[in-house]
Structure 1
Amino acid sequence: MFDEEPLTEGCGEVLAVADHACIGVSPFNSYFSTTRLTELARWASERFGSCHFFIPDTVSAYTMEALGYAPERARHKARRQGQYTYNKVMTALCALDVPEPQQRVLGMERLSGNQRYCELLAAATALFERDAAFRVACLDATHWVLDRKLARGATPTCEQLRLAVRYFLAELPLFTDSGGIAAAGAGRGGGSMFVYHQRVAFLERFYAGLLPWKPAPGQGFLVVSEPQPEQAEPQQGHVEPRRGRAEPPVLGETKVASR
């Protein structure tokens, strides 16, 4: 159903014993259609003992502020898009008759009352403020996100990075210990995999143990993607026509124009 690629060798070791998956779902990203979310939910239900979906809903406002939206407007759009994303996830879970589907979704309101999440967020934020190497790594990751959303040729300013990094820090606890936050795997000795469809340079360094901030024991990251169709062998003597180079699409990323 999906191709699986552990982000690092250590993540592969976690995958071998993992019994929980936390699927990251980005608001404003058209990759996460209801159909694809249903496929992800079915795959995760069959592949792991339990699964959750993480939606960084309200914190999307930080990124939108960095892109030039007024704070109130950014919060409104983040709430609206977050609810839309939540509804799609719920539709997917209900289509599969998942018991208590609302308990499978981790949004920011629910996480704000989660002790493990709050502990990790406070610790990561404190490390960001005091450790230069960690701060640079987080800002670099945020730069990568903003680069994909700004108009072609634009470069994020220091102020934009400082605004948008709050979104990244809000996600970091889930990369660090999604199993502990979801209270999954307790008593079973299994691990937890954070699941997404893209590789991120920061996370490759993070899961390889190359940053001051480390993942919890038994935490991994899994890149999932749809299998690519096999290409038929060209017939003897047949020459494929030359095509112009195409830029790869970035699903769900919208260049910012004047508002």
Structure 2
Amino acid sequence: MPETRLPAESDQSDGAAARFLVEPLTDRCREVFEAGAHACVGISPFNSYFSAERIAALARWALGAFKRVHFFVPDTAAAYTLEALGYAPERAAWKARRQGQYVRNKITRALAAAGIDEPDGQLLDGQALAENAAYRILQERIEQCSREDSVFFRACLGASGWTLERRLPAGQEPTHEQLCSAVRYFLAELPLFLDTPGITGEPASVFCYHQVPDFLDDLFRHRLSLCPADGQGFVRVSEVTR
């Protein structure tokens, strides 16, 4: 990570403020962030970090820092992680749908409280992305690269392991079979790291999340065979604890 750290605040109605530390991944990411055109805020299902209060604070911060904002919820894809953890496909799909609705409700309430009349238009979930032509084209490119480039695919497996290790019992490592199942979740997320501007029709966009797996560091530093679009940025946005 570069040394640039940008403090930011999200005002709350009770007078308190949530403070965030914003860390652009590269100099180019910092340029895209400072332009303030668009943000895509990643909200992970089954992640206790994203409480209703934190989502509301993130919404206030993003709406104050950018001209336009979308929230990405990989709800449909979350079923792949559950399958890797041993759930039957039907049960995994059901749990993913239920959790997705729970997360969408929290985002909708946060946006409504911030004065957004039609919050559904700012949600990028599985259904919205399935109908997005640019997203589907990116998926095809990613799947082809995964088949033809073993280095790229191993890096994707590594990112999936980073996700799975947080769901497995302490000390247990994911098997190769689990990684190959769970990687479908990461591959479904990857278009948003490569070209959110193309997906949303914005001139530039910065993806916002509170963690940075090694894969994204390699991706944005052009160490892999696929590279982000010129207008794509990434920042780590972490809440400062008092």
Is TM (by shorter chain) over 0.5?
Answer: yes
Aligned to 1:194: 207
Letter of the 1:184 counterpart? E
Q: Aligned partners of 2:75, 2:26: CA distance in 1, in Å?
A: 28
Report if the CA contact (8 A) 1:10-1:208 is conserved.
no
Residue 121 in structure 1 maps to residue 139 in structure 2? yes
Report if the CA contact (8 A) 2:36-2:65 is conserved.
no
What is the DSSP-based 3-state SS (H/G/I as helix, E as strand, rest coil) of the residue aligned with 2:35? coil
Match of 1:44 among 59, 62, 67: 62
Query: Could you report, residue by residue, the CA deviation over 1:59-104 in whole angstroms, capped at 9, with x for unpaired residues?
Result: 1000000001111111110010001001010010111111321100
Match of 1:95 among 113, 119, 124: 113
Task: Compute the displacement of 1:180 (Å).
Answer: 1.7
Letter of the 1:120 counterpart? L
Aligned to 1:217: 230
RMSD: 1.1
| Residue pairs, 1:6-25, within 5 angstroms | 6-25=24-43
Report if the CA contact (8 A) 1:65-1:71 is conserved.
yes
What is the DSSP-based 3-state SS (H/G/I as helix, E as strand, rest coil) of the residue aligned with 2:40? strand
Task: Compute the displacement of 1:208 (Å).
Answer: 0.6
What is the DSSP-based 3-state SS (H/G/I as helix, E as strand, rest coil) of the residue aligned with 2:212? coil
Aligned to 2:128: 110
Q: Structure 2 unaligned runs (5+)?
A: 1-8, 10-19
Aligned to 1:60: 78
Aligned pair count?
224
Which segment drifts farther, 90-99 or 19-28? Answer: 90-99
Letter of the 1:104 counterpart? Q
Greater fraction of residues in helix: 2
Q: Structure 1 unaligned runs (5+)?
A: 186-190, 230-259
Aligned to 1:135: 153
Q: Aligned partners of 1:158, 1:3: CA distance in 2, in Å?
A: 36
Instruction: Determine what percentage of the aligned residue pairs are the same residue.
Output: 51
What is the DSSP-based 3-state SS (H/G/I as helix, E as strand, rest coil) of the residue aligned with 1:194? strand
Residue 149 in structure 1 maps to residue 141 in structure 2? no
TM-score, normalising length: structure 2: 0.90
TM-score, normalising length: structure 1: 0.84
Letter of the 1:192 counterpart? S
Q: Aligned partners of 2:174, 2:56: CA distance in 1, in Å?
A: 35
- Tell which structure's C-alpha radius of gyration is larger: 1
